[in-house]
Structure formats: C-alpha cells, structure tokens
Structure 1
Amino acid sequence: MMLVVYYIITMILTKELVMATDQCSKYRFKSPFYPGDSCEMIYSSNPESRDRSGYYWITVGPTRVYCGMAYTGSSCVDIYNNNPETGDKSGYYRINDTQWTYCNMTEIASAIAVGDIIFTCAGMGGQWKRIVNIDISAGNDCPSGWRQETYSDVSFCRVVSDDWRTCSSANFSTNGTSYQRVCGRARGYQKGETDSFNAYHNQGQTIDGYYADGLLITYGNPRQHIWTYVSGVFDDNGARCCNCPCSVGGGLAPPSFVGTNYYCESGAITTYNISTYYFNDPLWDRSDCYSSTNCCTNPTQPWFYRQLSESTTSDIEARICRQSAFANGSPLIDQLELYIQ
C-alpha cells in the first residue's frame, strides 16, 4: 500500500515539474524555482534571475505570472516598441529600472497595429480621465489664451501676438485629480518658416521660454516638462539651425529637459515660402511624412505616453510658441487631446 502511495505522489510531482519546465522552456527561462510574493521581490532577492524573463511562481495567490526580468523602459509602450517579442507576454515589467508595473502587452500590440494608442494607455491600468478634447476641424473653439483664425477654409489656433519670440498659454484643469501618467495627441500645421529647437540654442531659453516652435506641454510651478510637439522648417534641406533633429542631415538637439520626449516634423520638404500654409501635410500624424527622414518612424504617433517622476494634482499647461514674427512663420494647432491617470 505504501509503495502505491509513493508511486502516485512521485507521478504527480514529476508531472508538475515537467509542466513547469515546459512552460518555462517555452520562454527560454531555465528554472521555475524562484518563489516570492511578487516579481519585484524575486528580482531583488535572486540576482541570478535578473536576465531570466519568464513565468514565475508567485506565492501570493498562488499562481504563475510572467516577469519581464530582462526588460526595462520608460513605459509599457516603450518596452514593447524596443522588444516586439514581448507582444504575447502580458505581465510585470520594470519601468525606468525600478518601478514594477503590469503591462497588458497583448492590448498594446493590438492598439499599435490599428494605430489607436488610447487603447494602449487603457491597457496600462485603465481609469484614464480626459481633461481636454479640442478639434477645431469639428467645429470646436480654441481655448482661452489662444487665438482662433481661418485661412482657406481651414480653422486653427495660433499665438495671440503677431510679434517675434512669443508664446500663448492655455491651462487645462485636473480638478484636483492626483495623477502620475499622461497620455495624449496633437495635430498641427506649419506656416512659413518654423525653426524647431533653434530658439533654445539662439536665445539660451529655459523651460519657461519659447524654447521651440510648436506646442509645449508642461505641468506645475516651476514648470515640469511632459511633451513637446515641434515644427521644423524642412524635411530634406541643409538648414541645420531650423530642422528637426530627425531630418535629413539632422538639426539642433533638444534641451536636456525635453530629452527624447518630443515629436518633430515639417510640412515643407526642401523649400518654404513665408506666406504658405502647409495644410496638405499635417504635422505629427505619420501620414505623408517625407520618405527619407526618420521623423515619423514611431508607431505610436501622434499619441504620446509619459510616466512622471512624481504624483501631482497640478493643472496641465499647453503653450503655442514661436521665434519668428507671425508674418514669417508659425506653428498652427487644430487638435489636442489629453488624458491623466
């Protein structure tokens, strides 16, 4: 009788071990024997696990969950974009090396495939609150602080003043909601000469100044950067001072406080005219982007996602800024949508 019981127990344990090993082998993970209460605990307690992404046994539950031990990035979308093999591996990943977050990679992959990044943001926890949705082409009005105009039957928002080196600010209330993530999109147009990040390099501007020709999105006082939508002068021309950094031949680098958190595009390709409104090529939408630039390679455009370094209840500010007089050139904005979480 004891022999039969021993045999049965042995068979059950062997089956469990084989199942665990098969599951782990599928994801090239060499050992199922790192139990812990979370992926973060396993990662911290077992240095040898840190290059072994796969399914781990979580003792709280208990259940097996996917731990992306070897992956890190600024967001779930960033991790997926740099590691497409994670597309079917929803689980816990390290954000900015230290913060563990559940990433629904299946939804992210699906959302990017259809070009609708708001589903991606929803896949990172849900409960997003929209604080602004402006579409001038749909008959909306520009927010207080921006100037609305129509040219050739196209309506848009612009800087209030016609003078040089100026910004116009619009503030969007969070109604005291605490948030640490921001998701959004914008669409604009180039009018005449727009100078990318040239203003920052020419005038020594700070985050409080007109450091770029475009839409500058920040929060807090003092201002903290969220995202910048930039309009450069050419896609393919040697005007390095005023081109996007991603244009043919490159342009001036963004300020350090902007880092890589921006999109930049031009409506003009090789020449421009100060009186021309480049409505034929909307900015930051990945459509009709000149083929020899890399300004439109990010599959999430025009959507952006940022995880801030702190939680805040601050309102979000969006400034339209330019270096030139309006007669010479200006960015024009006709869509802006922002969500917080």
Structure 2
Amino acid sequence: MLAVVFSITVMILTKQLVMAVDQCPDLQFKSPFQPGESCEGIYSKNLETRDQPGYYWILSREYCGMSYTGSSCEDIYTKYPETHDKSGYYRISNNDWAYCNMTTKTDPDEYYIPQCGSGQWRRIAYINISAGNECPGGWRAATQSGVSFCRVASDNSYSCSSAHFSTNGTSYQKVCGRARGYQKGAPWGFYGRSGVETIDGVYATGLSLTHGSPRQHIWTFVAGYSEVDNDACPCAGGKWPSPSFVGNNYYCESGTVNTPIVSTYYFSDSLWDGTGCSKQSNCCDNPNQPWFHRQLYQPTQDDIEARICTYGAFNKRSTLIDHFELYIQ
C-alpha cells in the first residue's frame, strides 16, 4: 500500500512540475540533463540540443546559444539580432565557449564572466582537449580509454612541463579561470615533507600558475592521494599543508575516496569542479568552484606560466589536464 501511495504522489508532483513549466513559455526551458553540466557539455553529449538555443538548467538557469556561432561575442551579436537580449554561453569559432553579454557589444577578446566578477575580462588561454584543441607549450598530449588530455612531458620523477600564455603587454591585477583534471595513480598532493619546497621546484602534484621572474604565485590546482589518508588534501584532513607562498590560493581534490592504485586512471571523478568530494572532505566548500579569482598585489604585464608537475614517475602519480581557461583584468 505504501508503494502505491508513493507512486501516485510522484505522478502528481511530476504532472504539477510539467504544468508549471508549460505555463512559463518565455523561459524556453529545456531538459535539466545532469546537474553541474555546462552548455558545452550538453551540446557535445546531446545531439538533439544543437538546434535548440534556450534556457537550460545547469547549476542554475542559464541561456545556451546552441545554434549560434561566430568569431567573437561581437560577431554573434552582429549576425543574430535575436540574441541581443539573451546573455549567456555561446560557441566561439565552433569549438570554444564563452559567456557573452548580449545587452551591449563587446570587443572580440573581451568576455563577461559572472563567476569572475564585474567588468570585461580579456581571455589569454582556452584549452579544451575534448573539443579537439592541442596541448600548448611543453605539455604532452595523450589518450587513455577514449579520454584525451595533456600530461607532463617526462616519464621520470620530479618533473614539470610549462606552457606560457602571453598577455600581449596588457596591464592587469586580477586573474580568473578554471581547470579540469583527473588523477592518475597515487599523487601526494602538497609534498611538504622536507619543508624546503620552493616555487621553482615540484611542491605539488598538479597544475601551478605563476607570473614574472622570479616566479610569483597565482594559483595551484592540486591532486590529492585520496580523501581519507595522511596524503590527502589539507581540506580533506591531510597531514601536509600548502607552502607559505601558496597560502589558501589553491584548489585540491582527489579522484577517489579509497587507497589509490598505481597506474590506474580515475576518470569517474574529475578534479577541481566543486563536485564529488566525500562527506569527510571540505574541498568542495568554495561556492566559486570550478572558477578561481585572484587579485595580485600590484598591476603587472607579465605573461602567465602554467606548469604540470609530478613527484614520482608518470606511471605512479600524476595529473591529467583536459580543460583550462584563463582571463585577466
């Protein structure tokens, strides 16, 4: 009897939800798909959406300009008058996605990123390996189990591979962006053991962002051993803290709650996206994730260096990067 009552209740609530959506045609509301998805993800995984621009439920209600594309936000704004009052995410040059403020025209290189704060942001890096982009600089391209990514170039221990992103002489004091990675093997998070780690060395398994010479820290994306171990991220109760030059300017996450297995690829839980942290972990508490936002101590025109680093041999403990974007203001 309880099962019958529950089934009837679900049917009633479902019908009420459908009626509520039908009564709001101005929303052009589409199917919710997977919570935490993106316009880009929905577009790539659901062919039926590619000619259906409209509002989709992601982390919140967002406009996805599925069938509109151009060389810049301004180009889309000019070619498609029907987009003028629909600020949201649009395809740039068919592969890249950017947030476009369609209430005003924008410079082709300027973007409105709500997660980064007010004003226009200049994009200096956008890498989406799943969309066919190439690995930049010294990063090495690889594919495993159908997943393509960038990795450290060397198979040896204690190595880093750099990619430099030019600001073209633009003065900036704020940096914003996001990265998505995966765990391979048993990374040690912040190394921390000797107490003499420097910004020029391998102080974390993951991706570090710096500017200038000598290097000055911006942000670090760290891969933790697991979420229930001494080598876990500090936010998950790990023993080893971040170096003083990093402070709290980092995201750290593990791809597994169990003891990791060397040589194993953990693709089921992507890193630094603000989801998939266990109940024992505080690593997903920052509401801004997957985006980071950092204000520097003073304005600079320095190019930005992104280094993928690993302590052990690639086969034992490493980090794989498949999405990375960077903006300055």
TM-score range, shorter chain: 0.5 to 0.7
Q: Is the 8 A contact 1:112 1:120 kept in 2?
A: no
Structure 1 residue 276: deviation in Å? 0.9
CA distance in 2, matches of 1:234, 1:332: 16
Deviation at 1:327, TM superposition (A): 1.6
Corresponding residue for 2:43? Answer: none
Render the CA deviation track for 1:122-170: whole Å, top value 9, x for unaligned. Answer: 42xx121000010111111110210000000000100000000010000
Equivalent residue letter for 1:147: R
Does 1:135 find its partner at 2:164? no
Q: For residues 156 and 117 of structure 2, what CA distance do their matches in structure 1 show?
A: 41
Q: Which residue among 221, 224, 231 is the counterpart of 1:232?
A: 224
Residue 148 of structure 1 is matched in structure 2 by: 141
Greater CA deviation, 330-339 or 290-299? 290-299
Alpha-carbon distance in structure 1 between the residues aligned to 2:61 and 2:244 = 33
TM-score by length of 2: 0.65
Tell me what 1:214 maps to: 206
Q: CA deviation at 1:275?
A: 1.6
| Counterpart Cα distance in 2 of 1:211 and 1:201 | 10
Segments of 4+ moved more than 3 angstroms:
111-117
Distance 1:122 1:255 in 2: 27
Q: 1:271, CA displacement in angstroms?
A: 1.3
Q: Cα gap change, 1:260/1:112 in structure 2, threshold over 3 Å: closer, same or farther?
A: farther
User: How many angstroms does 1:268 deviate by?
Assistant: 1.5
Q: List runs of 5+ in structure 2 lacking aligned partners.
A: 1-57, 63-98, 100-111
Partner of 2:8: none
Q: 2:174 aligns with which of 181, 197, 215?
A: 181
**How far apart are the structure 2 equivalents of 1:121 and 1:244?**
25
Contact 1:191–1:275 at 8 Å: present in 2 too?
Answer: yes
2:140, 2:328 → 1: CA distance? 26
Tell me the CA shift for residue 203 of structure 1. Answer: 6.9
Distance 1:118 1:251, change over 3 A: farther
More helix by share: 1
The answer to whether the 8 Å contact 1:122/1:128 transfers is no
Structure 1 residue 201: deviation in Å?
Answer: 2.8
- Work out whether 1:298 is the aligned partner of 2:286: yes
Kept in 1, the 8 Å contact 2:151–2:308? The answer is yes
Instruction: State the shift of 1:312 in Å.
Output: 0.5
- Aligned-pair RMSD on alpha carbons? 1.9
Task: Give 2:72's aligned residue.
Answer: none
Measured in 1, the distance between the counterparts of 2:303 and 2:239 equals 32
Query: In the TM superposition, what is the alpha-carbon distance from 1:291 to its structure 2 partner?
Result: 2.3
The verdict on how the C-alpha distance between 1:206 and 1:290 changes in structure 2, with shifts beyond 3 A counting, is same
Structure 1 position 224, deviation (Å): 0.5
Q: 1:114 to 1:223 in 2, by over 3 A?
A: farther
Deviation at 1:250, TM superposition (A): 2.7
Structure 1 stretches lacking a partner, 5+ long: 1-110
CA contact (8 A) 1:194 1:231 kept: yes
| Amino acid paired to 1:119 | P
> Size of the alignment, in residue pairs?
224
Aligned to 1:245: 234
Q: How far apart are 1:118 and its partner, in Å?
A: 2.5
User: Using the alignment, how far apart are the partners of 1:158 and 1:245 within structure 2?
Assistant: 24
Identity, in percent, stands at: 58
Inter-partner Cα distance in structure 2 for 1:264 and 1:245? 8
Residues 176 and 269 of structure 1: CA distance in aligned 2, closer, same or farther (over 3 Å): same
Superposed displacement of residue 113, structure 1: 5.9
Please give the secondary structure, in 1, of the residue aligned with 2:187.
coil
The answer (yes or no) to whether the contact 2:115–2:288 under 8 Å persists in 1 is no
Go from structure 1 to structure 2 and tell me whether the alpha carbon gap of 1:112 and 1:251 turns closer, same or farther (over 3 Å shift): farther
Of the candidates 92, 96, 113, which is equivalent to residue 118 of structure 1? 113
